[in-house]
Structure 1
Amino acid sequence: MLVVALAMPRAAKADANLEAWLAALRTEAEAAGVSRATFDAAMKGFKPDLKLPDLVLPGRPKNDARGQAEFTRAPSEYLDRAYLMRLAKQGQELLRQHEKTLEKIERDIGVDRYSVLAIWGRETSFGRHKLGHDAITALATQAYLGRRKEMFRDELIAALRMLESGVPRSLMRSSWAGAVGLTQFMPTEYFIHAYDLDGDGKTDIWHSVPDALASAAMQLKGKGWVPGQTWGYEVKLTGAADCAYEGPTQARTIAEWNELGFKRANGKPWTEKQLTLQAYVMSPAGGYGPTFLALENFQVIRRYNMSDLYAVFVGHLADRIAGGGDFVTPWGGIAAQKTSHIEEIQTRLKAAGYEISIVDGKIGSNTRKNVGLYERANNLKVDCWPSDAVLKHMRSSASR
């Protein structure tokens, strides 16, 4: 009985907090044009889905990346060769099937057919992947208990506006983060970039391939897509050209990278036009896989999904659909690192004066660069990877 007596006040408090949160949300939704009837129908009986990743809950790690394949899988696993080959073959079939649609997208929007197909392939395996969550529940859970409450609150309001505009709740199946449709649109993006390419008076990103692909193209265009330009080039690291040059803050012209020793991995010479392009070094597996000179369209793809591995997947799949082959440099045998392990390395780098702004337990471009700079400074092998060896060296140095 004592357990019940202690538990009841906690439950009552949690219910009261949720009711207050819903009341404030209702007011905000009404101000955004969502009727009370739509709101009440959508949120009736809402209970947070505590199985979702990225929630702030007692006993759960602060940096919970469950469900985020870009941060929980090794690069070689995420960029699985067999899967990419299968998607590329399907994409080439879809090139022929949707030729007129893709021509119209290129002509009217300015994004190439291969890239929009690659987005569709990565996001839902060309519509074969069935989304496992109700978008309203997922977004409301993230807005109430998530690590990025304000962002998801905006997305939830936009999702409610979608219902208000006539989108059926049955279509609002989503990823754990609330992205919907064939090309995985966040609700706020729907109202900015959704596009009726098939001309039937409806914007249907769920069933109309023309609308879904054109909407993805509009999103890429809105994020700065450069027509006629690829996403990047695989390069070889030679001599002083190492992975510690990584990151957008170290961007240079390809001519300058060429002078530093960055050569095309396929052995082809740089063209005069290519030499004038601005690019930065990007090594998603550090020294244990391909390295790229990333162009502006790589950054644009990252704005669709903020992950280097995601952008490499989409860019490389687009190349494969267009007839390109495999990476020249193979992926090494590194595994995904533990969040706590990466956090410790980030914390130690920050304490030592390296430019680590966020300790998040994720291996991003800035972390790889600063690991490489640490390795350079300490005469270690420069592989730009937050490995056990790097952490051991840091701990040893700190104990001296």
Structure 2
Amino acid sequence: MTAIACSALALFSISTATPMQDAKAQAGSSFESYLQQVRQKALQDGVRAETLDQVLPGLTYNPRVIELDQSQPGGSMDSAIPPFAPYQRRHITAVRIDNGKAAYRRLIAKLIDVERETGVPGPIIMAIYGKETNYGSYMGDFDIPRSLATLAYEGRRRSLFEPELLAVLKLIDKGVPQSALKGSWAGAMGMPQFLPSVYLRLAKDGSGDGYADIWNSEYDAVASIANYFVNSGWRRDEPWGIAVNVPSSLDRTAIASKIVPTRCPRVFGRHSQWKSMAEWRAIGVVPATGKSLDSDMMATLLEPDGPGNRAYLLTGNYRVILDYNCSNFYGLAVGLLADEIRS
């Protein structure tokens, strides 16, 4: 075949490719080019070339991950906030409570040791465990390096996901088996659903074998959750909050917070000013049950379903729960589930 004939055949092959095939080929090429950029950054961060040569060539683009990411609800400050009560019924079920109590009993010796060391109560740890992975029964089955590479490459939130991709490469470089790295489509892993960067900073070996195996060891998961809370400022012997009754005469404009939150404004914007328990009692906000908080303990008021419905006074430790997941519904569900597990 002549050179001209070969060229003509090549042109014919290109011209008959479908637009979808061309797009896929271009995407694949661009994805591989992006991974080469990641490789250089990882090398600069100290990841060994052998590790990168083992991991990066096997990664492929996962369109399903992008579909899931783009389908996440946004929500603005002006959009309607749904009521908490239905969420509470769905997430604090009798089954979840019973399973939490069983897990608490199973791990009680370890939880006592962890609380003694860190001040984080066992029921709070169990509530996080239950909320995140239903006590380890479902941790996700997405390939973490592939998901993070896809999300970082797509670019919409590269500033979030590229550091996590670099972190998971470091994690593999430190000896965590790549085969163990399964989790959510967004990169959260193991029983506590840690992102790779969080694992590198805060995962703890709770079993004494030298490896923080948050995928298979409940002892390691428990110790790691507690360490996360300590790092976020958990205060020993301070409850997360308490249900309260609010008088119909309460002037809510007088207690509205004057601080404009820079972090999670949609969440913290619903909280009142900070007042001591003595100050709350003085204006008629009192515990709904026999429980109470110390008179000098500071708390904010949250009425998740509006005036006339169940309200809560929330301490600084509630803010620590929000550091795990910045959602009032999440924070309340963890606190209330912990109370049920403790009872």
Q: TM-score, normalised by structure 2?
A: 0.80
1:185 positional shift = 1.2
Letter in 1 for 2:39: R
| Match 1:261 to one of 278, 284, 289 | 284
* Structure 1 pair 103–47 and aligned structure 2 pair: CA distance change class (3 A): same
State the distance in 1 between where 2:16 and 2:121 align.
62
Q: Is the 8 A contact 1:240 1:260 kept in 2?
A: no
1:118 positional shift = 1.0
Letter in 2 for 1:259: A
| 1:206 counterpart = 2:215 | yes
Match of 1:315 in 2: 335
* Structure 1 pair 298–243 and aligned structure 2 pair: CA distance change class (3 A): farther
Match of 2:56 in 1: 43
Q: Is the 8 A contact 1:109 1:221 kept in 2?
A: yes
CA deviations on 1:262-310 (whole Å, 9 max, x unpaired) are 22223x4855x2x312211223334485321111111101111121111
* Structure 1 pair 118–239 and aligned structure 2 pair: CA distance change class (3 A): same
| 1:19 counterpart = 2:28 | no
| Match 1:282 to one of 302, 323, 338 | 302
CA deviations on 1:27-53 (whole Å, 9 max, x unpaired) are 111122222332233232433322236
Q: Is the 8 A contact 2:248 2:308 kept in 1?
A: no
* Structure 1 pair 201–46 and aligned structure 2 pair: CA distance change class (3 A): closer
1:104 positional shift = 0.8
State the distance in 2 between where 1:30 and 1:320 align.
48
Match of 1:28 in 2: 41
| 1:150 counterpart = 2:155 | no
* Structure 1 pair 186–17 and aligned structure 2 pair: CA distance change class (3 A): same
* Structure 1 pair 201–15 and aligned structure 2 pair: CA distance change class (3 A): closer
Match of 1:369 in 2: none
* Structure 1 pair 74–131 and aligned structure 2 pair: CA distance change class (3 A): farther
Q: Which has the higher Rg, Structure 1 or Structure 2?
A: 2
State the distance in 2 between where 1:101 and 1:33 align.
35
Letter in 1 for 2:51: T
Q: Is the 8 A contact 1:174 1:180 kept in 2?
A: yes
Between stretches 105-114 and 86-95, larger displacement belongs to: 86-95
Gaps of 5+ in 1: 324-400
CA deviations on 1:195-238 (whole Å, 9 max, x unpaired) are 11221222211111111100110001000001111111112232
CA deviations on 1:331-379 (whole Å, 9 max, x unpaired) are xxxxxxxxxxxxxxxxxxxxxxxxxxxxxxxxxxxxxxxxxxxxxxxxx
| 1:224 counterpart = 2:244 | no
Q: Is the 8 A contact 1:237 1:291 kept in 2?
A: yes
Between stretches 119-128 and 279-288, larger displacement belongs to: 279-288
State the distance in 2 between where 1:82 and 1:8 align.
44
Gaps of 5+ in 2: 1-13, 257-268
Q: Is the 8 A contact 1:179 1:187 kept in 2?
A: yes
State the distance in 2 between where 1:243 and 1:16 align.
58
State the distance in 1 between where 2:172 and 2:27 align.
28
Matches within 5 A, 1:94-173: 94-145=103-154, 147-173=156-182
| Match 1:304 to one of 306, 320, 324 | 324
* Structure 1 pair 226–50 and aligned structure 2 pair: CA distance change class (3 A): same
| 1:190 counterpart = 2:199 | yes
1:51 is paired with a residue of what secondary structure?
helix
1:158 is paired with a residue of what secondary structure?
helix
Q: Is the 8 A contact 1:205 1:211 kept in 2?
A: yes
Q: Is the 8 A contact 2:91 2:333 kept in 1?
A: no
2:312 is paired with a residue of what secondary structure?
strand
State the distance in 2 between where 1:72 and 1:20 align.
42
1:114 positional shift = 0.8
1:181 positional shift = 1.1
| 1:241 counterpart = 2:241 | no
2:186 is paired with a residue of what secondary structure?
coil
1:191 positional shift = 1.5
Q: Is the 8 A contact 1:182 1:205 kept in 2?
A: yes
State the distance in 2 between where 1:223 and 1:249 align.
22
Between stretches 36-45 and 4-13, larger displacement belongs to: 4-13
State the distance in 1 between where 2:229 and 2:184 align.
20
